[in-house]
Chains A and B, each alone.
Chain A
Amino acid sequence: DIQMTQSPSTLSASVGDRVTITCRASQSISGWLAWYQQKPGKAPKLLIYKASTFGRGVPSRFSGSRSGTEFTLTISSLQPDDFATYYCQQYYSFSYTFGQGTKLEIK
């Protein structure tokens, strides 16, 4: 199975900061990677798919990029609504593994 290593596991930041979350695949997954945001007690929400394509209604401060097997989710200017947990997921090869998650906290 493909392993997805997500970092950091926790990130403390302030409103207005630029933050980056990284996900590394254990082998090539081409660009078949999605990013999700999850708030406590709620279902996840799709942010990005195919590494860099926006999900419906996702603000433009979110962006995704790829360099080989390393994928990055960037939030250009944190807003209060962005403090949540973020997950990456590869959908290149079954089983479709998720990263361990990154909890974005208010500093």
Chain B
Amino acid sequence: EVHLVESGGGLVQPGGSLSLSCAASGFTYSDYWMTWVRQAPGKGLEWVANIKQDGSEKYYVDSVKGRFTISRDNAKNSLHLQMYSLRAEDTAVYYCARNLWSDHWGQGTLVTVSS
């Protein structure tokens, strides 16, 4: 069974940094693109970033380019999102998902950017 478990969320001040992780199990992790999607409180879904199977291609939504970095460790079946220069508008539940069309999702981790 596919399992995705996010961790690392929490409260951070504007301008601060935070690192999210996603532990994957139940499938051959290195065979799949991986995705981060976020959802601000009471709002819709927003695609954040994708990373190719071998990490050679990475794509970001414009609003996080230059501030967020997606990475993966295929030896540890893990996905990461390093977030810098955080803003209030980055406050959201962050989900990791498998594949370009997100066929499996984690339960999400809440990031709150506030002073």
- Report which A residues bind B (CB closer than 8 A): 1, 32, 34, 36, 38, 43-46, 49-50, 55-56, 87, 89, 91, 94-101
Contact = CB atoms under 8 A, between A and B. Distances in A.
24 contacts: A32-B101, A34-B102, A36-B45, A36-B102, A43-B106, A43-B107, A43-B108, A46-B101, A46-B102, A46-B104, A49-B103, A55-B103, A87-B45, A89-B101, A89-B102, A94-B50, A95-B61, A95-B62, A96-B47, A96-B50, A97-B47, A98-B44, A98-B45, A100-B44
B48 to A, nearest CB: 9
Contacts of A87: 44-45
Q: Is the interface of A mostly helix, strand, loop or mixed?
A: loop
A89 B59 CA distance: 16
Interface of B: 35, 37, 44-47, 50, 59-62, 95, 100-108
Given A87-B45, A95-B60, A96-B47, A43 B103 contact: no
A43 B95 contact: yes
B47 A98 contact: yes
Nearest to B108: A43
Nearest to B58: A94
Contacts of B46: 98
Given A94-B59, A95-B61, A96-B50, A89 B103 contact: no
Contacts of A38: 45
A49 B99 CA distance: 11
Nearest to A33: B101
A46 B45 CA distance: 13
B105 A43 contact: yes
A32 B100 CA distance: 10
A101 B105 contact: no
Nearest to A34: B101
Nearest to A50: B101
B100 A101 contact: no
Contacts of B61: 95
